[in-house]
Amino acid sequence: MKILRIAKFVVFFVFCGLPALADKPVLTIYTYDSFTSDWGPGPAVETEFEKICECDLQFVGLDSSIGILGRIQLEGKNTKADIALGLDTNLVHIAKETGYFAELPSTIKDIHVKNSSLPIEYTDKVFMPFDWGWFGFVFNKNILKNPPKSFQELSNMPDDIKIVIQDPRTSTPGLGLLLWIKSVYGDKAIDYWRELQPKILTVTKGWSEAYALFLDGEADMVLSYTTSPAYHLIAEENDHYDATVFAEGNYLQIEVAGMLKSTSEPQLAAQFLKFIASPVFQNIIPTTNWMYPAYNAEVPEGFEALAKPSKTLLFDSENVATNQKNWIDEWLTASTK
């Protein structure tokens, strides 16, 4: 019996003691899957940050961007996340209402106001931007000869032209399109969704699925960003892809990161948030996440060739928080008849 007890103790010690013995503190960041993929910013960010932090940076790639918030709500106070990276400004108010997010340290606030290279003025106490871009429909110029120049042209296209969009309940681009159409059509948004319905091949959970369907040739257009063609241009040296710029304006997405109240590594989390605003992080973003950097960093060659919308649309996040449910219900009604 005694031996058993000792054995138990040894097992307990080995299993519970190991993490304690490891010298480096762990910083866990929840993000969406494409951020952590091999071609995404994840690996480079991890290497660069670990050079300066004496820590172990762990990205947890969740299946979609809104899934990050859902996951944190599910896990509640027990969440392992120290930082959530990949929500956008539309969700900021909803995220704050959960009460799980801590205010940004004051030192960071200054940096992110001073050095901002966003197309609009944006500040928030809890979340800081890390990149931005305009939503746009991406297409192959060789296949789609006459790309639509407005929402009306988009819905007037022949019915065999198919587009893939993302679900506004699960993915920030999906929510972006919902808000884009809402900001253009207002109360008539539901009618527009009905008109668009025959063109929609499918609604995916997250951005990467939708983009994969597009690249696999399942669809002619995909809801993505005006910066996505830069990937094909720079990484693949293929200039066949382009993104739509609409006469009504394009909706803006500012992707943000925030730290959790429950974090056990507040110092490290703050250090990482500061790192986000640094040139090192910002230089990784354009050619890995294929978005514009949020702080003054150089934009690589090729980005200047991208289409630029004439008008920028954005709702404020309180407005989104109050209406999100109704607007999503409206979309559900329109897309389910």
Partner 1 sequence: MAYRKHKIKGAEKQGVKFLNTSQSVVLLEYFKLSRLYGLSFGLILSLLGCAILVQLLLIASNDNYLAVIFSSGTFYIIKSAGWQAFLSTFFSLLVGILSARALHRRGNQWFVKFVLSTSFIALVVPTTVAALGIVAVWGRSGFMNSIGLTGFSLFGLWMVILAHVFFNAPLVLRVAYSALKSQPNYYWKIASHHNLTEVEIFKVIEWPTFKSFMVPLASLIFLLCFTSFSIVLMLGGGPDVTTLEVSIYHAVRFSFDMQLAASLSILQILICSGLILISKPLNFSLTSPAPNSENTIIRNDIENFFSRLTDFFCFLIFFMVILLPLVALFYRLDLSSGLNLFGQNRFWNALYISTKLAFFSSILSVMIAIVLIHSRFRLNQSGSIISIQFIDISVSFYLLMPAIVFATGCFILLQDHVNLFEHTFWLVLLANILFSLPFILRILSPSLEQALSQHDKLSLQLGITGLKKFIFLTFPSITRELQLVLGISFAFSLGDLSVITLFGNREFETLPYYLYQLFGRYGASEADILGIFILVYIFVAYFIFGVILMSFEKIHRFCRTVVHNATNK
Is 82 a binder of partner 1 (CB under 8 A)? no
Please state the closest distance from residue 119 (CB atom) to partner 1, in A. Answer: 29
- d(CA 117, CA 128) in angstroms, rounded, equals 13
Which tokens is 99 given? 């009460």
By CB under 8 A, residue 143 contacts partner 1: no
C-alpha to C-alpha distance for 82 and 26, rounded to whole angstroms: 9
Nearest approach, Cβ of 26 to partner 1 (angstroms)? 12
Q: Does 229 bind partner 1 (CB under 8 A)?
A: no
Rounded to whole angstroms, the Cα distance separating 234 from 224 reads: 17
DSSP assignment letter at 61: E
User: Under the criterion CB under 8 A, does residue 336 sit at the interface with partner 1?
Assistant: yes
Determine contact, residues 31/6, Cβ cutoff 8 Å. no
Geometric angle at alpha carbon 90, from 330 and 226, rounded to 5°: 95
Q: Considering the rule CB under 8 A, would residue 319 count as an interface residue with partner 1?
A: no
Spell out the residues 6+ positions from residue 183 whose beta carbon is closer than 8 angstroms to its own: 249, 251, 313, 314, 315
179 binds partner 1 (CB under 8 A): no
The single-letter DSSP state of residue 299 is P
The SS3 call for residue 83 is: strand
Candidates 1-9, 65-73, 131-139, 231-239: pick the segment binding partner 1 (CB under 8 A): 65-73
Q: Is 247 a binder of partner 1 (CB under 8 A)?
A: no
Is 47 near partner 1 (CB under 8 A)? Answer: no
Interface of this chain with partner 1, residues 258 to 287, rule: CB under 8 A: none
What phi and psi, each to the nearest 5 degrees, are found at residue 56?
-110, 110
Shortest Cβ distance from residue 246 to partner 1 (Å)?
A: 23
**In angstroms, what is the minimal distance from the CB of 183 to partner 1?**
21
Give the interface with partner 1 as residue ranges (CB under 8 A). 33, 60-64, 66-67, 70-71, 73-76, 78, 80, 162, 167, 169-170, 200-206, 208-209, 211-212, 215-219, 329, 331-333, 335-337
